[in-house]
Amino acid sequence: MGGVKPRAGFEPAACGLQGDHAVSSTVGGVYYASVDWGGFCRWVFGLYSRDWADDVVRLARRFAGVLFSGNASELLALSPASRRNAMKALSALARFLGHEWVKRWREIREAYGLKWGNGSEFHPLLSSETFSDMLGWVQKVLECIKDSRPVVFFALLTGLRSDEVFASMRLVKERLDEYLDRELGVLQHFKFPEIFLRRTKRAYISVWLDELRQLAEQLKHNYEGFRSMLRRAGLECKLNYCRKIYASYLRKCGVEPEIIDLLQGRLPTSIFVRHYYRPEIKDKLDRVRDSLSRMLDQLGL
């Protein structure tokens, strides 16, 4: 890919920024200064998890010149994984700026031969992050930082995304009667759509175990405090590993992929309401609950 050259005559677009972002100059630096970065940050954090939103804002700022100048040479020098992340961030920025910038970004990708990737570059099953590696991170954090236990265990038992873990723990502490369906034995995330039913990230339900209440009562940090605690200990925050361990372990226990997808929010809202949230699912949820209890014993956590 490094040898790909832009097509002849490819020049910066003359279109302005959309709406409040409109300017007359086509100079990349002027465009950059005219972006409502505060508005972009709020927009991104409304769409994505906190971890990914942080990366999107950071990468969009770093590589915004690619979008505004039309010169994508610096993207070609990145590793495939880094290039994909930068491209995703630029796609988000283009969508925020408006239709003309989405079109502009597509033309830049075509001109420089930028692809989203193919099977030869990456496949989840070939990832260097094995189940043992992820479990090793969990065990290291638990050994080094005693106060990490409530958050890590709660994440392992619910399979929620990092920011969702902290929101769920607060709801268990403060609004459990509203949050918990005692008949089915599930936490009803869908009752709090402003938190759990975002545009691209959703969580509907998590299986209830009594341990979750005890863990939530021990919560001492918010998400930023938790990350800072890990940084002081020289550890990366990879709480998303708990979500992967959760799904991997349930599959090893024979839980159907459809149920795992349900528990991890990978279903359209209409399908969830019409086909899943019914008493008939109770037996399947009980099986998940038994599997999670065994996970805590077998993993020695």
Query: In terms of Cα–Cα distance, which of 203, 151, 205 is closest to 180?
Result: 205
pLDDT value, residue 47? 86
Residues 88 and 144 in one domain: no
pLDDT value, residue 49? 82
pLDDT value, residue 13? 33
Residues 291 and 142 in one domain: yes
Torsion sign, CA atoms 131, 135, 137, 138: positive
Residues 40 and 161 in one domain: no
Residues 107 and 28 in one domain: yes
- Three-state SS sequence of 12-64: CCCCCCCHHHCCCCCCHHHHHHHCCHHHHHHHHHCCCCHHHHHHHHHHHHHHH
Give pTM, 2 decimals: 0.62
CB 281 within 8 A of CB 225: no
pLDDT value, residue 207? 98
Domain count within the chain? 2
Residues 27 and 139 in one domain: no
Residues 159 and 261 in one domain: yes
Residues 98 and 135 in one domain: no
CB 84 within 8 A of CB 123: no
Among residues 83, 112, 141, the one where a domain terminates is 112
pLDDT of the chain, 301 residues: tens digit per residue: 333 333 333 333 333 333 333 333 343 455 777 889 999 999 999 888 888 899 999 999 999 999 999 899 899 888 888 899 999 999 999 999 998 899 999 999 988 889 876 444 444 444 557 888 999 999 999 999 989 999 999 999 999 999 999 999 999 999 999 999 999 999 999 999 999 998 778 999 999 999 999 999 999 999 999 999 999 999 999 999 999 999 999 999 999 888 999 999 987 666 776 677 676 789 999 999 999 999 988 776 5
Is the residue at 1 inside a domain? no
pLDDT value, residue 9? 36
Range list of H helices, the chain: 28-34, 37-45, 50-69, 73-76, 80-97, 99-112, 131-144, 149-158, 162-174, 176-179, 193-196, 210-217, 223-232, 240-252, 257-263, 269-271, 282-298
Residues 198 and 289 in one domain: yes
Is the residue at 175 inside a domain? yes
Domain residue limits at 204: 128-298
> Which tokens belong to 88?
């995703």
Among residues 112, 138, 153, the one where a domain terminates is 112
Residues 78 and 195 in one domain: no
Is the residue at 8 inside a domain? no
- Three-state SS sequence of 245-268: HHHHHHHHCCCCHHHHHHHCCCCC
Report the distance separating Cα 178 and Cα 53, nearest Å. Answer: 29
pLDDT value, residue 166? 97
Is the residue at 184 inside a domain? yes
